[in-house]
């Protein structure tokens, strides 16, 4: 005897494979083992399909955010570290540019002090010494500025100190030009 699991009709003919009413696969009556696979086959996709997509994405999604969160952090710090290594040469160039800038400012300050002392009637030897010192500082600043521009020129990163190096070099060159003009004026004044 066979029974339909859908409509519960029973069929005496064991040769029947499907229910005549609804086409469901007939199961042998009294055979509980054949009943279970029939329900299990139906229950399996119903259980796995709704449960696994829900639990499977939920479970990986929860562990995965910590992984992307922890992975980008080491990924970012190695990214920053390789940037730190190229940063050494820009920093050296930046240091040179800053030193060059300080030289230019110091040169200008010494020149201003020199002019102030000169107008105050200070010792000409002292004035000459200060002027020579400021010229020397300007010269050192110009050389450092050239090196800084060359070093910054090699640095292709947007944080390079090219602009500062160029400004420092230009300031030192302007200062040296002023020194040369003052020296020339002094020579002309002395020759008269």
Q: Which residues bind Zn ion (CB under 5 A)?
A: 4, 6-7, 9, 19, 21-22, 24
Alpha-carbon gap, residue 132 to 191, rounded angstroms: 20
- Least distance to Zn ion, CB of residue 22, Å: 4
In 3D, which of 188, 9, 182 has the Cα closest to residue 108?
182
Q: Within a 10 A sphere around the Cβ of 170, how many other Cβ atoms?
A: 14
Q: Give the total residue count for the chain.
A: 192
- Least distance to Zn ion, CB of residue 11, Å: 9
Q: Which two tokens stand for residue 65?
A: 């955010």
Which residues, including other chains, have CB under 8 Å from residue 16's CB and lie 6 or more apart? 2, 26
- Least distance to Zn ion, CB of residue 6, Å: 5
- Least distance to Zn ion, CB of residue 43, Å: 19
Query: Which is nearer to Zn ion, 6 or 180 (by Cβ)?
Result: 6
């Amino acid at each position: 005897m066979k029974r339909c699991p859908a409509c519960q009709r029973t069929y005496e003919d064991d040769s029947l494979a499907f229910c005549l009413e609804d086409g469901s696969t007939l199961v042998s009556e009294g055979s509980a083992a054949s009943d279970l696979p029939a329900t299990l086959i139906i229950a399996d996709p119903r259980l796995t399909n709704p449960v696994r997509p829900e639990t499977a994405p939920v479970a990986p999604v929860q562990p995965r955010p910590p992984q992307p969160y922890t992975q980008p952090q080491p990924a970012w710090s190695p990214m920053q570290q390789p940037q730190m290594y190229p940063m050494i040469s820009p920093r050296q160039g930046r240091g040179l540019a800053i030193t060059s800038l300080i030289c230019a400012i110091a040169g200008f300050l010494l020149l201003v002090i020199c002019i102030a002392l000169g107008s105050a009637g200070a010792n000409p030897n002292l004035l000459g010494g200060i002027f020579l010192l400021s010229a020397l500082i300007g010269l050192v600043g110009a050389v450092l500025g050239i090196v800084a521009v060359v070093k910054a020129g090699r640095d292709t990163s947007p944080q390079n100190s090219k602009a500062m190096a160029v400004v420092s070099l230009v300031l030192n060159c302007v200062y040296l030009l002023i020194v040369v003009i003052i020296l020339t004026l002094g020579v002309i004044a002395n020759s008269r």
